[in-house]
Each structure stands twice: as structure tokens, then as C-alpha cells.
Amino acid sequence: MKRRIKIQSSFVFVFLILSFFFSKYFFARYRIQLVDIFLDVAGMGILICGFLFRISARGYKQDNTAGGNELVTGGPYSLIRNPMYFGTFLIGSGIILIILNLWTYPLFLAIYLSIYVPQIRSEKKVLSGRFGEKYLEYCKRVPAYFPGLSGFLEGELRQFLPLKWRWVKKELPSFTAVGIIVTAIEVWEDLAASACSNIACSVLELPLIAACLFLMVFIYYRKNGNKPQ
């Protein structure tokens, strides 16, 4: 197992233990229903964008490189040099908006940067040695950590985030697992707060939001002549 994955797993385990014993500090319970719904919708939208980045990045790289012997600079890699890591960042941000108090976001950001900044720097050294000047020129054009707005304005979404159904299928188990866990925590929060009337709403709310957003993405790609395959 990679060292980065071990570190991530350790952070997740520690967080689960702490959140169990200090749930009233970690998990959000908003008194205003509209605020809770708004954050759930925004969080799910960001979470799905994160999965789209990961799906497109992984699939595009597999289809356009032979065993890592070619430098991939198109698709999502024309927006950001590390789209899979950025996708992970969006997924974490979305989860925080849905189930956690906003004070945990700086903590998440600090943990994310402590893991991925050294990883990105290490990979840059390796790729610089492998691809030389070609990679250095690529680094000058494309940011490492967060995509610039100019990249989105210079082309269409389907150009930067191509999708194929066989790519999507590989991430479906992860997306389903995250959805189940987030929904379970939402239900558990309602039970802990004795808000039994909200339980059915929590069970249906997040899957419905996810389905609607995925449908919007599918319609967009189909309308632009790039139906996921």
C-alpha cells in the first residue's frame, strides 16, 4: 500500500473516532431548514464535480498513455496538472458542506495540503526527469493545485472533462459508498437530535439531489454531441 494512502486512511480513522465521541462539535445541525437544504444541494453539487474530475482524469489518462510513457496534457490535464487530486479536494469539500460544521473546513484544507503538496512536488521531480523540457513547458502553462478560470473560458466543458460510460463504472462503487455513508450520517444526526420527522427526508434527499445533478450532466454531454459511451 502506498504511503500516501496509509496516511489518508489513518486520518479518516482518527476522524471517525473523534467524530463519534464529539459528534455535537463536528456534525452540523442547522435550526433553519432552508440553510440545511441549501448546503446539502451545494455540497452534493461540489461532491459530484469532484467525482467527475476523478472519472475524467483517470479514464483520459488510461486511454492516452501507454504505461506512463507519454505525457498527458489534454482533457482535464489541460486545466490542472493533478485533476485527480483536485477531484479529491472537491469531494472532501462537498462532504463538509453536507454533514459537518464549517469550522472543520480549515482543518480539512490543512490536512489535504499537508498530504498532497509534498506528493505533487515529488511527482514533479520525477516527471521533470522523465520528460524534460516538454514537461517544464507544460508546468508553465497549467497550474498544479487549482484550475484557473481562464481555462474554463477558453473552451467547452466537454472538451476539458470528457466522459465515457466505462470510465464512470469504475468510480460508481466509490460514489455509491460515499452516498450511503453521508446519508447514514444524516439519518443518525436526525435521530440524535430527536428530529424523527426529518429522517425520511434525509434518506431521500441526497440520492435525489445526486440523481438530478447526474442527469443534468448527462443531458449536457448529450446535447453537445458527446454522449458518455
User: Residue-wise pLDDT tens for the chain (229 aa)?
Assistant: 456 555 665 666 566 666 666 666 677 666 667 787 888 889 888 998 899 899 999 999 988 876 667 889 888 998 899 999 999 999 999 988 888 888 888 988 988 888 889 989 999 999 999 889 999 999 998 999 888 766 566 656 667 888 888 888 888 888 888 877 777 777 766 666 555 555 555 556 667 666 766 666 666 666 554 444 4
User: What percent of the chain has a predicted confidence (pLDDT) above 90?
Assistant: 18
Which pLDDT does position 46 carry in this prediction?
A: 92
CA distances from 193 to 10, 43, 198 (A): 29, 21, 10
Task: Read off the pLDDT of residues 20-63 as tens digits, 9 standing for 90 and up.
Answer: 666 666 776 666 677 878 888 898 889 988 998 999 999 999 88
Q: Cell digits for 149? A: 478560470
Q: Euclidean distance between the first and final Cα of the chain, in Å? A: 32
Backbone angles phi, psi at 67, to 5 degrees: 65, 30
Q: Where are the alpha helices (H) located in the chain, listed in sequence order? A: 3-21, 23-26, 33-64, 83-99, 104-131, 133-141, 149-153, 157-160, 165-192, 199-223
- CA-CA distance, 45 to 40, in Å (whole number)? 8
| Domain boundaries of the chain, sorted by first residue | 29-223
Which pLDDT does position 1 carry in this prediction?
A: 45
CA distances from 31 to 43, 192, 195, 203 (A): 18, 14, 11, 19
Strand, helix or coil for residue 229 = coil
**Burial grade of 69 (CB within 10 A; 0-12, 13-18, 19 or more):** exposed
Q: Cell digits for 216? A: 443534468
Task: Read off the pLDDT of residues 3-20 as tens digits, 9 standing for 90 and up.
Answer: 655 566 566 656 666 666
Which pLDDT does position 175 carry in this prediction?
A: 81
Which pLDDT does position 158 carry in this prediction?
A: 66
- CA-CA distance, 204 to 28, in Å (whole number)? 19
Which pLDDT does position 3 carry in this prediction?
A: 60
Strand, helix or coil for residue 27 = strand
Which pLDDT does position 179 carry in this prediction?
A: 79
- CA-CA distance, 52 to 84, in Å (whole number)? 9
Strand partners, 27: 100
Which pLDDT does position 69 carry in this prediction?
A: 73
